[in-house]
Structure 1
């Protein structure tokens, strides 16, 4: 890759010179415990992204989703996220075992603002609070318990720029189907008809088992 015309940023001073300093309100909004409005946000959110890294800095971002309120509030500074059946790679979980620091962003469909949580995580395989995380008769396989170190609400500019929630801007047909992507990159020996069936309407039936 040609990089001769790149002008890199190599220091915090250079970065601040380019971006400027944050406004006092942007700094002061950080908290370490849940506010009543944070609790309301978590109760309304069906989806979050969890960022992790191992001790070598290798990163992972994993989506987590369930009915609104899937994140359980254990106390003013601790939350728990249930884990459901997935592809079993467990990249983020392996990272947490090596490095407990995590970053989360909670979404509410149609809202451009988000809730950000940074903290320290641990994995729990069994606890009495699992009874509160049952969905469609299924208990979580494990839970990610996060001790909050930093929490704040984030503005909507990225969502406004991307028009993410504007249905008229959506074009899912611009890309091949999930089945065709799987055949090209992951399962080349499987017939496309079988993959289309696997990723079809019946796919949702296996979400909790």
Structure 2
């Protein structure tokens, strides 16, 4: 089946990274990273449990909401969600975490790897207030690795080009998906209305 199950086989197939690729990995939040973080309204938080099971959680806030405390520390506020708390349970058991910052219209992304912890309150929580709402929890990440990821994925996907986007009407709504996956008796239209109202009323 052509399965690759050793590091040696993988390297033989794909080769070694260029020296410049390794050199771009730094261990701090420099001025350029600060600028990108300040302009990013969307970040993906990746965590894993001790058994290896993984979770990737989208985090969205107005640009500038992620705090940079110093050259090695950043803070993400928690906002109301589905209460599954998969990321948080993982962080308690295994603090290693990865972040991927996106800036609208920019094809490069900022990647951060480090150790995360959960904080229920701190003086900087005042800076995490959005629309008058103070978060109950924040994720503090101690940066161990930081680097820019090249534009190839976004160029291949044409993600920022609206002319490549599918017509929304051609895709199922969330209400339709939940109705079918959960075998609910409620109509998709009613579920969509409830979901829209709930999302608008409980963002923060």
TM-score range, shorter chain: over 0.9
Instruction: Give how far 1:202 is off.
Output: 6.3
Counterpart Cα distance in 2 of 1:122 and 1:187 = 38
Instruction: Give how far 1:19 is off.
Output: 0.9
Q: Deviation string for 1:56-96 (max 9, x for gaps)?
A: 10110000010001110111100000000000000011000
> Is 1:85–1:141's contact at 8 Å kept on the other side of the alignment?
no
Name 2:179's counterpart in structure 1. Answer: 183
Name 1:200's counterpart in structure 2. Answer: 196
| 3-state SS of 2:178 partner | helix
Of 53-62 and 8-17, deviating more is 8-17
Are residues 187 and 204 of structure 1, via their aligned partners in 2, closer, same or farther at CA, if it must alter by over 3 Å? Answer: farther
Instruction: Give how far 1:187 is off.
Output: 6.4
Instruction: Give how far 1:191 is off.
Output: 3.2
Root-mean-square deviation (Å): 1.3
Counterpart Cα distance in 1 of 2:107 and 2:3 = 31
TM-score, with structure 1 as normaliser: 0.93
Name 1:35's counterpart in structure 2. Answer: 30
Long gaps (5+) in structure 2: none
Instruction: Count the aligned residue pairs.
Output: 203
TM-score, with structure 2 as normaliser: 0.95
Counterpart Cα distance in 1 of 2:12 and 2:36 = 35
Instruction: Give how far 1:157 is off.
Output: 0.4
